[in-house]
Structure 1
């Protein structure tokens, strides 16, 4: 009985360890699935409505991202944007961005800073040309010289010279 119990205990232990090893990458990878949105919708809302996601000022635009009712409905919104959650407004805004681009928010679209629809940045000035670098010695020759210096340091200079002489054909082939 004891042998059977030990075998069962070991088998269950190995199964648990194997399961943990297999599950670890899956558990660790789920953190990246909920990455932050690609655009700064909070910045757009701050610019459009002072960050008030439930705003309705009576000007024909609703919610934190100031949707017109027709744009809201055409891009998957129901009811009015001012009564929708922030997440729902962002979902609809992503649809608007895909169909209209940042021009849907002509002033505040500057906060949509990633993706292909972002505001174009001014090109960076061209860097000053770098001064010409001095010609580098041939790598094989440099390595041979460094090896000779080390060989002298450790008192095996003559053996090193003999080694280099015996393998000069190989070293010449490396230098090409």
Structure 2
């Protein structure tokens, strides 16, 4: 008789494993929640500290603003006084500058005439330079054409010489082949078998 098969009870062990897995998951969830609470507590403490700092900063800014307003009033009165002085000085300066502008306009007219003359000379030089460049480019193109022609002629000559040499080598090879074939047949050997 064959031995009896033992039946295993897997269901209770499986449910124990499920409970243990759920327990571990619960412990992890609790740890995660505790970390979040600690992080939020730190955020609240930091926010309260920041709020205190901001209030102190606002108080300091208010004091600075008051000082700035007083300084602004002082500067404003000083600027009004300076404005009157400067206005007088500027009026005198404007009259002097108008005379200088008149003189500079005359000098500008002379300079513009010289500039036109220089432009005409430069344009003439550029035209001459362009003509020289065109001439040189033409010569360069002609030289290039000549070199290409010489190169093609040389290559054609080399190709012809190579063909002659190759034909000679092929004839020589055929002669040697026939010679050795004849020698092999004298010894009673077939060249195809070797």
Task: Give the TM-score category using the shorter length.
Answer: under 0.3
Q: Which has the higher helix share?
A: 2
> Looking at both structures, which has the greater relative contact order when contacts are Cα pairs under 8 Å and sequence separation is at least 6?
1
Which of 1 and 2 has greater Rg?
Answer: 2
TM-score, normalization by structure 1: 0.26
